[in-house]
Chain A
Amino acid sequence: ETGVTQSPTHLIKTRGQQVTLRCSSQSGHNTVSWYQQALGQGPQFIFQYYREEENGRGNFPPRFSGLQFPNYSSELNVNALELDDSALYLCASSREGALTDTQYFGPGTRLTVL
Chain B
Amino acid sequence: QQQVKQSPQSLIVQKGGISIINCAYENTAFDYFPWYQQFPGKGPALLIAIRPDVSEKKEGRFTISFNKSAKQFSLHIMDSQPGDSATYFCAASIGGFQKLVFGTGTRLLVSP
| Chain A interface residues toward B at CB < 8 A | 4, 31, 33, 35, 40-45, 48, 56, 58, 90, 92, 94-96, 98, 100-108, 110
Q: A41-B105, A42-B102, A42-B104 are contacts. A105–B43 as well, Cβ < 8 Å?
A: yes
- Selecting from B58-66, B67-75, B92-100, the interface stretch reads B92-100
Separation of A96 and B100 alpha carbons in the complex (Å): 14
Separation of A108 and B41 alpha carbons in the complex (Å): 8
Which of B43, B46, B96, B101 gathers the greatest number of chain A CB atoms within 10 Å?
Answer: B43
Separation of A58 and B102 alpha carbons in the complex (Å): 13
| Smallest CB gap from A48: residue in B | B99
CB of B95 within 8 A of CB of A101, answer yes
Which of B44, B49, B97 gathers the greatest number of chain A CB atoms within 10 Å?
Answer: B97
| Chain B interface residues toward A at CB < 8 A | 6, 34, 36, 41-46, 49, 89, 91, 95-105
Separation of A110 and B40 alpha carbons in the complex (Å): 12
Task: Note all chain A residues with C-beta closer than 8 A to B45.
Answer: 105
Interface of A is mostly: loop
Chain A: minimal CB distance from B49 (Å): 6
Which of B34, B36, B49, B96 gathers the greatest number of chain A CB atoms within 10 Å?
Answer: B96
Chain A: minimal CB distance from B1 (Å): 14
Separation of A56 and B30 alpha carbons in the complex (Å): 16
| Smallest CB gap from B6: residue in A | A42
CB of B99 within 8 A of CB of A90, answer no
Task: Note all chain B residues with C-beta closer than 8 A to A103.
Answer: 34, 46, 96-97, 100
Chain A: minimal CB distance from B58 (Å): 17
Chain B: minimal CB distance from A8 (Å): 14
